[in-house]
Structure 1
């Protein structure tokens, strides 16, 4: 099966070194790959609790994305497009740190990060929407 291909052409601004493991300008998904579209995940744990600080909410939102990946027989390295919605620009440095610790990859996804005025509930500080793709087959399911 063909592999996913990252595109970072020299005709675009070069991704700074600290972001090279967490950002690609583009990702090409070959025909026949399995795609998983993950709805925006917020920092709500399985019991419905929401932390009141950015880092634990972000960690939970990432765990929720990872749970969806596992359910589809995928992993974080299969992420091809991630969109982050934050309610405070001051949290960007913490987001970068968490991404580097948890989702750094030699094949990073395409990424968009937006600072928005609000999310669906006032206590939500981050929402993560993602798309994953793999050329591996999977026979499981939930």
Structure 2
């Protein structure tokens, strides 16, 4: 099993939690992004840089992730695709996406996209807070303990 990180939009504090957990658990962890980023020296953490373009990083994760892997992403369509492959998907705020809740999340995402495209302003996500970071760390620890 492995951890895949949709790293383009992953907040730095969440990456730091992932780095520490990957080394502690000796878990293969791969960050995927279309821009360069620093990762700590570790035999368990890898970085894959992809070309810029719509869903290029997401597509690589979908192709390479295997059943039982954990995918960390705030991208709901990506989460849906990897759940269909038998992966688990966790967002940076600690919410676990499941077969039971992903369709509702996709519908809400599409609804808000429709509102924005018709000119209605919607609020963005609230800033990441300490509770979010703790919830994320707890869910990551649960996954690591189960494997």
TM bucket normalised to smaller? under 0.3
TM-score with structure 1 setting the length: 0.26
Higher helix share: 2
Higher strand share: 1
TM-score with structure 2 setting the length: 0.26
